[in-house]
Amino acid sequence: MKWMQAFMLVTILSFLVFPTSGMATSLENLPSSEASDQWEVNIDTPKNNDFEPKPDIYNIFSMDIKYIGDKDIKLDRVEAYRDDPSSSYDFELFTVTDDLEFEKNKEQPVFSHQNFPLSIQSTELKVIVTWSDEDDSSRKYKEEFIFKQ
């Protein structure tokens, strides 16, 4: 029970220190994790070694997203984008809209991506989660998590 109280204290303090929801630590400090009232996004080391990073071009990371809210929802879409300092727009890393069915189990990720490359020139990783309420699927909700330098 003490770990739950500690987690809640850390979460509240992070909202006070970082008032903009979804702001995370520097990309140089990945792996990292961010949470909101509904979601927890965890950027971590790769889950398998099928792809090797090219340290002068890109690194490889994994992503797990857990639903930590208390409503019955349907996950509709997960998107990831990175910036490019030489451009004014973001580059898509991946978008997933299929196979997002899940059982409400807070111990298991709702979404898991084993490996994705992230350019070493990127200073921002944007993760967008879109979902709907099981009782009213006509209304969509979206939350962005921005991991930036």
Alpha-carbon distance of 72 to 67, in angstroms, equals 10
- Domains contained in the chain, CATH given: 21-148 (2.60.40)
What is the pLDDT at residue 105? 59
Per-residue pLDDT of 48-107, as tens digits, reads 888 889 989 999 999 999 999 888 888 899 999 999 989 999 999 999 987 666 555 556
What is the pLDDT at residue 18? 42
For 90, the 3-state DSSP assignment is coil
Residue with tokens 């409400």: 104
Global pTM reads 0.76
> For the chain, what percent of residues have pLDDT higher than 90?
50
Does pLDDT of 113 surpass 50?
Answer: yes
